Every structure is written in C-alpha cells, then in structure tokens.
Structure 1
Amino acid sequence: MTARTADARAALPSPLAEALAGYEDHLRAQRDLSAHTVRGYVGDAVWLLDHLARRGGTRVDDLDLATLRSWLAQGRTRGASRATTARRAAAARSLTGWLRRAGLIPEDVGLRLVSPKAHRTLPDVLAPDQARAAVESAAGAEEPVGLRDAVVLELLYASGIRVSELVGLDVDDVDRGRRLLRVLGKGRKERSVPYGAPAERALDAWLTRGRPALATGESGPALLLGVRGRRLDAREARRTVHAAIPPGAPDIGPHGLRHSAATHVLEGGADLRSVQELLGHASLATTQIYTHVTVERLRAVHAQAHPRA
C-alpha cells in the first residue's frame, strides 16, 4: 500500500475504517488470497470508501449505486484505462458482496454495477532464437550470483511458472529424478510442472556451487537466494530477466518469458488443455489468448512471405 493510500485509509470515518478492516480480514483468512491480491483489493476499497466519505457518507450503508458509478467515472476522467476501470469495478463488487453477506448493508448494490470489459491485448513474446539467447546469457557463469541467474532464466522459460511461484520454491519442491517442480500457484493450488535437461544442469551447478556460497542461517529451505542469503526477491528476478533480453527483442520481464514459453509450446504442437495445466490457469478461456498470439504470428509470416499476400 502506498503512503498516499495509507493516509487516505487513516482519514476514513471510524465506521468505514472498521468495515474495511473486517473486509481485509475476510480476504486474508477466509478467501486465503495472496498478499499481493489482498493489497490490490484493499487499496481499491480504500479509495472507494474515501470517495464515499467525500460525498458525505459516514457509514457503509450510505454506499449506493450512484456512488459506485461516480467513483468509476471519476477514475475515467483522470485517465484510468478500461482495464483499470474493470478491475476497480470488480473490487467494488467484491466489497459490496462481502458487506451484504456480513449484514452491514441491506442489499448488494454492486450487483447492478456495469463496467467496460478490459481490452485483451496480445502479449509481447520472444522468437525462439531470442528466447534461447536470453536464457543462455548467463550460461558458463561461475560466481554464485551468475549461477543463480542461470537457474532463474532456465526455470522461468522451461516451466512457464510465474515469478512469484519461482521465488517461492523450496529446495524440496524440486524432484530432480523426474525433473518436476512442485509449484504453489494462485489460490494456493498446487501443481507439478516439468522442466528439461538444460534447466537440470543449471540447477545442479547452483545447488552444488552457488547456493552453498550464499546460504546463511536466514536462508531456510528457499531454493533461490539473494546476495545476503535470504530468499530471492521477485524484483531481483525481474531485473535478471530484463538484463538478459538480447538487443532487438521486446523488452519483456518474467511474465513475458512465461508468455513466450506458452506460445512456443503451442507452436511445437501441444494442445491447449496441456498448456492450461502447465500454466496453472483455472479457466481454459485464459489460456486461449496464446492461440491468438500464434495466429497473429502466422498472419505476419504470411504477409511477409506469400507472393499474393
């Protein structure tokens, strides 16, 4: 939560602040959401309740459909994108749904809130040769940090896991005999993800020569470590990916490497259902964006190469 959001939360009238605290407890304890997701929902709820207070509301039962709509409209006026507006609307509906179930408002006013659907833009992906260059950029390193960076790149591309899933791995989550990662994904759903021989070689080098050099009493079971011996931070993993992208390639981060892995697996002949399992998507509809990526690439190749394109 930013300092500005924290200040807005501190300024809320007591009844609104108490309701917000109950909602946050619900997200953490009952829905068991990740810390990142909780921060997002709570941050949007803070600004919605701040908007309510500025309109003269002091209790959550002052929240009505007009307030929800004016809050979203205010954001659009200030330049919020369709995607941001859709996210805020979803957060508002989550809050009002909980308020109704908790008996704090007489009806769920969020049920009648309509928001624009976010445009689904095609993600930037690397070409296979660009991905190979990025992943192999740390190959041959001998110092501990270089060995770690090689594992970060190899595992992200080999498995298609999220960066949060990568840095959350423990040593015991790696089944080296079967080349599988035990990953805890969104909603704390566990899945097993395979990786290949190059990633196994990078893992072996890291575990035998890299990790022991960085490990301290604070390392615990973490697979990947920072320079001070603590669990690797996701921001450092992102910096590693950005630094590895070759000249001329899209400037992607870990999520772009995940998109690239999924696209290349599909182009290699995998079916969509298998890619869904690999990525840990709850819905096949989420995975279908990768079919659009491959179709767009096919169109680009056709336009460039076909004599009657």
Structure 2
Amino acid sequence: MSKYHSNKERLRAKGTGWDLKESRLAYLFMTPLLLCLIGFMIVPMFTGILLSFQNASGDPVGMENYSAVLGEPRFWNNVQLSLAYVVCNVLLSIVLGFLAANLITQKSKIVSFLRPVYLIPWIIPPVSSSILFRTLLDANTGPITQMIKFITGKSVMILDQADTALIAVIVHNFWRSFPFAMLFLAAGLTMISKDVYEAAIIDGASKIKQFFYITLPLVKNHLFIVVLMITNWTLQDSESCYSLTKGGPGTATEMVAVRLFKDSFVYFEINTGAVIGIVMMCISIIFAVIYYWLTKAKEMESYE
C-alpha cells in the first residue's frame, strides 16, 4: 500500500511539474501579445485620461475640459447624429441581413454564386468603399447623380446637402455592415430543425406566424449579439464617414467619432479629443459588458 501511494505521489509530482512547464511556455508565447496590448492600448488609454484633465500647456485643469465639452450644443448635436446613425444602421442591417440570410441558407446554384458576392462590402476596406461611394455620388461626374439628372432633369448635389449627405453616410455604413448580420443570422437559422417548421405548417401557421413564433425566438441570441456588435462598430466609425463627407456639409454628418478624429488630428485640440475619447470609451465599455453577459447566458443555455 505504501508503494502504491509513493508511486501515485511520484506521478502527481511529475504531472505537476509538467503542468508548470506548460503554463510557463504558454505565458512565454503570450508575452509579445501582452506587450503589444500594453504598448498600443493600455498606455494610450491612460495617456488619454491624463490629457483629458490638462490644458494645451500641460497644466492640470480638473473637470474644466469635461464641462466645456458636455456643455457644448455642438457635442450634443454630435450625440444626436450618432444615435440616428446607429439606429438606422442597425435596423437596415438587421432587415437586409435577415433577407440575405434566408437566401444564402437555400440550396441552389445561384445562391452558391451569391454567397461570396454578398461578402464583398465587408471585405473592402472602409476608406476604399467611402472613396467608391464618393465617386458614385459626385455632383458632376457621378453615375448615380447623372442618372437622377437624366430622370428628373435636375442637377443634384447629394453630398453637399445636409439631409441627403446623412442618408448617403447611413446607406454606405449599412451596406458594409449587413454581411456580418447575414452571416451571424444565417448561422442561427441553420441551427433550427426543419421538423419545427413542418409541425407549424401542419398546424396551419402562416409564414408570418412562423417567423414571429419560431424563427425570431430561436435566433434571438444571435440577433442580440449582432445588434450589440454593429452598434459598437457604428459608434466608433470615423474613417468611413470622414472619408465620405469629412463631417459636412458643416456639421451635418459630424458624429461623435468624427468629431473625435477632427479635434485630435485635424485641429490638434488633443485635450478636447481626449475628453470625447473617454466618453466614447465609457459607452463602448457598457456595450462590451452587455455583449459579455449575453454571450455568457448563451453558453449557459447551450450547456443546459
């Protein structure tokens, strides 16, 4: 018995040493990633927090920068535009994503051809797609504006008018976002058993009732995650909007992220940009926490 216990303790000690060696190797491989994370995310974050409490000379000013930004009508106009931007983008992406997800889950030759085509907006870099849209909507040579002029007989300047410029920015962003919604929702749709729909058809359920009582409840976790991810991306989107309209005309398309970019890298008002960046970071953290809890709840449901 003592020999058995000694062998067991020897094996346990050997296993513990091996586990310790594996954990050290894992930390060694993680070191470059941690250094990049510290250098490119954590250090700039704390630097931004420090700058938000200083003036241009580097002197501490307390909450003056926050009071100036939060008391500005321009900032709250930026917030309203961001909310409109997010809501419209999410709604359009979800609707078109559902339609495209239903299409790509079908089995046919044309669907096999369309699947990679639908991913093109997501693959193209945002700055490149913004330049493409800007070319299409050019007041003098753009194909879309020339077609509108041919139909109506009137010249249009889509990117030079407040309402139409905002619509153009929203259309461009949801055109880029819907492939992600399509893929995620398609993954949820493929998990639904066909037997459920067959039973609903036997019971006389219409297509609308099947959608609201079967499809929507069974893909709600996927839908929540899509909404949160697209919301977070849209809030932080500055490159595509700035490349398309530069926040204009005036401030008609100046969302919070665009204002952050302009104040920090165009006007070099670093302290104001830092304040806006901290506000955006707090909003992003809220959405990240919601996303984490939804993902955790989904994992618990899958285990049950």
What is the TM-score when the length of structure 1 is the normalising length? Answer: 0.24
**Bigger relative contact order, structure 1 or 2 (CA pairs below 8 A, ≥6 apart):** 2
The structure in which a higher percent of residues are helix is 2
Which entry has the higher C-alpha Rg, 1 or 2? Answer: 2
